[in-house]
Amino acid sequence: MKIVSNIKACGGQQIQFTHAASTLNCEMTCSIFLPQAAETEAVPVLYWLSGLTCNDQNFVTKAGAQKVANELGMAIVCPDTSPRGDNVADDPEGAWDFGLGAGFYVNATQSPWQEHYQMHDYVSQELPKHIAQHFNVDASNVSISGHSMGGHGALTVALTHPEKFKSVSAFAPIVSPLNCPWGEKALTNYLGGDRAQWQKYDACYLIEHANSTQLPILIDQGSKDSFLEEQLKPHLLEQAAQSASYPISLRYQEGYDHSYFFIASFIEEHLRFHHRFLSQ
């Protein structure tokens, strides 16, 4: 691991580092906020998964989360959104919704993507191990959140591994890649044409087929989000959760769009939501 920068922020430390990610077969850049409490105790951890086109820095610079995270004594880990590097395959037309910056938190099975695009295993297995080895965190006290494609990532990772997380939340998540253009494009390429192989990365499917372990779930969705009707479709998750008797809290926030201003407006409530379950 190589520390790129370590900057004091809101009483804690905002750290950016690189490490060799074996699941992704490339070097990855990642950021972590460590609250002051980490100087003396192993602190709970929130994983934050970002959306299309983002990297590890968007949340760090724009969400304004550090002050409350420091107050609550919570670390926040922000991975990148895809494998990176000159050797990593990208969309042949350089589209922003597939390839680099758009790993969709799946394990690709199709060529040429499967060599590097194993983001599900990276964020759910390898990165947590790396974080636990190098930083003063409580690896048994973990929650996860994300935005848009990262909201899809947070929901699917948590629903697949409910034993690893205390709670999950999302801002404007893609709730069903089986049922939106972004998902169709990404999963066709990463996973192939057999849609049965997509189900394990679909939050609606997963919540309908969840075992008895139910996680606390909080979702915020802006009512003026330009992607709401075509791509995000939170009502599908609401329906799936109802049919599975899986309680979720889905809130429509009047007038908010898809930007980081929306995240900055409600991140404090999400941190306090997770803190309730992380501190039990």
Is residue 265 a contact point for a copy of itself (CB under 8 A)?
yes
| By CB under 8 A, residue 259 contacts a copy of itself | yes
- Mask for 61-80, x = binds a copy of itself (CB under 8 A): xxxx-xx-------------
Which residue from 262, 273, 275, 278 is in contact with a copy of itself, where contact means CB under 8 A?
Answer: 262
Question: Does 57 interact with a copy of itself (rule: CB under 8 A)?
Answer: no
Residue among 188 and 253 whose Cβ is closer to a copy of itself: 253
Q: How far is the CB of 66 from a copy of itself (least distance, A)?
A: 7
CB closer to a copy of itself, 152 vs 275: 275
Between CA 245 and CA 258 the distance in angstroms is 29
Comparing CB distances to a copy of itself, the nearer of 14 and 55 is: 14
56 vs 202, beta carbon nearer a copy of itself = 56
Size of the site for a copy of itself (CB under 8 A): 24
Q: Catalytic annotation on 140?
A: no
Q: Is 235 a residue of the active site?
A: no
Site pattern 3..32 for a copy of itself (x: CB under 8 A): ----xxxxx--x------------------
Asked about 50 being catalytic, the answer comes back as no
Tell me the closest approach of the beta carbon of residue 59 to a copy of itself, in angstroms.
12
- The smaller minimum CB distance to a copy of itself, of residues 61 and 140, is found at 61
Q: Using CB under 8 A as the criterion, what x/- string covers residues 141-180 for binding a copy of itself?
A: ----------------------------------------
Distances (CA, A) of 225 to 60, 173, 176, 251, 279: 22, 11, 17, 13, 33
SS3 string, the chain, reads CEEEEEEEECCEEEEEEEEEECCCCEEEEEEEEECHHHHCCCEEEEEEECCCCCCCHHHHHHCCCHHHHHHHCCEEEEECCCCCCCCCCCCCCCCCCCECCECCCCECCCCCHHHCCEHHHHHHHHHHHHHHHHCCEEEEEEEEEEECHHHHHHHHHHHHCHHHCCCEEEECCCCCHHHCHHHHHHHHHHHCCCHHHHHHHCHHHHHHCCCCCCCCEEEEEECCCCCHHHHHCHHHHHHHHHHCCCCCEEEEECCCCCCHHHHHHHHHHHHHHHHHHHCC
Exactly one of 148, 167, 169, 176 is catalytic; which is it?
148
Report residue 128 CA to chain centroid gap: 13
| Residues taking part in catalysis | 148, 225, 258
Interface residues with a copy of itself (CB under 8 A) are 7-11, 14, 61-64, 66-67, 222, 224, 255-257, 259-262, 264-265, 268
